Structure 1
């Protein structure tokens, strides 16, 4: 016990073992919904046979990388497969662009390697400085709207599908409102909202389990045959297909994974560090390279295991709010993911879509709030941001949204005589995306 207190510097952060353990439990409760939601999303790309492996892989990726964060970076930040990026993996790359899920995993792996390099070199700073803040906010908000769209589609309230790379939206399905599934979806949505407004920890998890139980009782979904099983990763482990990345279109896929993960992580880590009181007077984050490197290692490891991009979770703020200030908080969270998450595949498989869809909508609500930071009085900032925000959900593609934003931002700044506001790297990125769109259009 004394070793833990010394290693994690309890005295420096004025904390104790009880506080750190409770904070770790709180973070786990807040994040545990990912054990149900991530497999539900990714199995749409990998097939239903992948579900049990995906539960195990989600738990392993979250548990191992969170423990690395605990022991290496010594911060109370937890990691897991990222919401939004799993949606991009499934609905844009696999179902939209037609890549196999094995190729998509290879793209995630390459993105992770690039992220590792960026995390240990000064290139990371250059990239951060190049992308305008309005674009960073818009990408996060656009992904939030994307997740909301997916949640409503999963429950059947709206009907949309991607065929041959084209989004086909057929409108609202009002009939779902008279079904058990539709009623339970709204029950879960309002229950989550009430719990969040009351500041109840683990609101998403409580809502998912409560809605599922009601669904089982009412016959809207079948009861789980059993709750626990032996972990398996055979379906997804080491199934990366690098050969499929050898074309121009795959570059855009890798770039989109990289951009979203990079800036999502940066924003999350900055916000969590501010909440924990880590930021220095000049706004720097102590041990930022260790934090980002851990995140990058998690992405690479996750791809090998068989899941989409692993990233630092904003839900870690729940544990910080409970007083967690050291890596001990993350260590507890990681151990809980490994101790519980590895064995609940049958339970996770029995969770119906009307129980997980509210979580997607609520996560979308959290993410969409970033758009308020865009300066809408400046059209050269706001219009490109709007194009990103709008195009991500309506094209089912994060990469297309980023590309439209970068290109329009560059054009508008040049046309308005404000070209000096453009970082030189933005010109390069805009040209890359122009070439990417030309490839998609069949010009190249």
Structure 2
């Protein structure tokens, strides 16, 4: 064990092997729900026959990226396919915009390459400083509403659909679904998750998913799994990217949306986790930030090759940090658990019903909407564009549209209110790019 203690600098961070291992297990427990939820979301776009591959791919991408974080960046941060971006991939890019899922994977792959370039160059700093903080928080909160809407729609509580123009057609309550057994089990799972979170019990979402599933199997509202373990199979999604399909003007907006959300979500998450772990310097910077961001970028690129949507750093890593995890040993344990368990549970994951995973989507949405409190509502030039982002994302079923509306409205409002000096020059470029993108979608050229 001496090598691990020296390599991860246990003495410097005042930790020990037992603490780090327990912290890694804790982080895995809080994140393991992604092994059930990510395949459920992506298989809606790729086809149900992709489900088994997606379970293995989710585990492999998460395990690889998290172990890379452990060995290269040496931080107690774990990674997995990002919630929100997987929904954008499936429900917007593929099911609504009509791109083949292989083209969407290619967009994720290219986005990862762009992220890698920016992580090793000074361009990264320029992009970071260009985007106003209110827009960053608004995008995160908007994605939270997006996930909640998807969760409620999955269980049949809402009768939502999207028009050809990309506008949410209806969010009416489906009264007929209220007293169905599946709906009641959904409410049970939602309450259980909320209660466990309130009691600060680790792995609340995982416990809720598994408990609700077992109740569904016992009551006959979902079939029991035929078996629990199987040999991992990756052939359905591995190396299926269609790079030629990206030779389309509309794909630029898709790539840009993937990149923007991934880039700034990672920055916010890493900053928050570093603050919690006591890593931040006196001027608020994250030590070895380049290594963390590069790990995230490589994880996304490799994830796309394997066949999953954007891989990103998870805020659930805070659970392990709270348990005392301070080094890469924590993330090494988490990554090994993803590989050791997640690769082989496809039959179990496939038997998890939608009413058991939908509560997790709603709860994740709740966590993400909390970003609203960071927006300065006393400044209308900040708050109004943020509000437009917040409502545009769920009402258009599109993260890209929300980002575009936010950037354009923010730039115009600052410019015409006499506060152009507050605009970074790059914001003019970004606003113009999105204006052209919307004009393209509207058929002007």
Aligned to 1:92: 92
Within the alignment, does 1:126 sit opposite 2:126 as a pair?
yes
Aligned to 1:9: 9
Report Cα offsets for 1:184-235 as digits up to 9, x if no partner: 0000000000000000000000000000000000011010011111100110
Matches of residues 337-416 of structure 1 in structure 2 within 5 Å?
A: 337-416=338-417
Q: 1:46 to 1:165 in 2, by over 3 A?
A: farther
Matches of residues 218-233 of structure 1 in structure 2 within 5 Å?
A: 218-233=219-234
Any idea what SS the aligned residue of 1:171 has? Answer: coil
Aligned to 1:335: 336
Aligned to 1:204: 205
Aligned to 1:75: 75
Q: In the aligned structure 2, how far is the partner of 1:130 from the partner of 1:86?
A: 26
Q: In the aligned structure 2, how far is the partner of 1:395 from the partner of 1:73?
A: 38
Q: CA deviation at 1:429?
A: 0.2
Q: In the aligned structure 2, how far is the partner of 1:77 from the partner of 1:145?
A: 25
Q: In the aligned structure 1, how far is the partner of 2:438 from the partner of 2:164?
A: 16
Aligned to 2:172: 171
Matches of residues 21-420 of structure 1 in structure 2 within 5 Å?
A: 21-162=21-162, 164=164, 166=166, 167-169=168-170, 171-420=172-421
Gap runs ≥5 in structure 2: none
Q: CA deviation at 1:163?
A: 5.2
Any idea what SS the aligned residue of 1:226 has? Answer: coil
Aligned residues: CA RMSD: 0.7
Aligned to 1:441: 442
Q: In the aligned structure 1, how far is the partner of 2:7 from the partner of 2:382?
A: 46
Q: In the aligned structure 1, how far is the partner of 2:67 from the partner of 2:165?
A: 39
Q: 1:163 to 1:237 in 2, by over 3 A?
A: farther
Q: Is the 8 A contact 1:91 1:162 kept in 2?
A: no
Report Cα offsets for 1:244-294 as digits up to 9, x if no partner: 111111000000000000000000000000000000001111110000000
Q: Is the 8 A contact 1:98 1:165 kept in 2?
A: no
Report Cα offsets for 1:147-201 as digits up to 9, x if no partner: 0000000000001233545333261112212111000000000000000000000
Aligned to 1:431: 432
Report Cα offsets for 1:132-158 as digits up to 9, x if no partner: 011000000000000000000000000
Any idea what SS the aligned residue of 2:426 has? Answer: helix
Alignment: residue pair count: 444
Any idea what SS the aligned residue of 2:80 has? Answer: strand
Q: CA deviation at 1:54?
A: 0.2
Deviates further, 372-381 or 307-316: 372-381
Any idea what SS the aligned residue of 1:311 has? Answer: strand
Q: Is the 8 A contact 1:95 1:162 kept in 2?
A: no
Q: In the aligned structure 1, how far is the partner of 2:212 from the partner of 2:399?
A: 30
Q: Is the 8 A contact 1:96 1:165 kept in 2?
A: no
Compute the TM-score of the two structures, normalised by the length of structure 1: 0.99
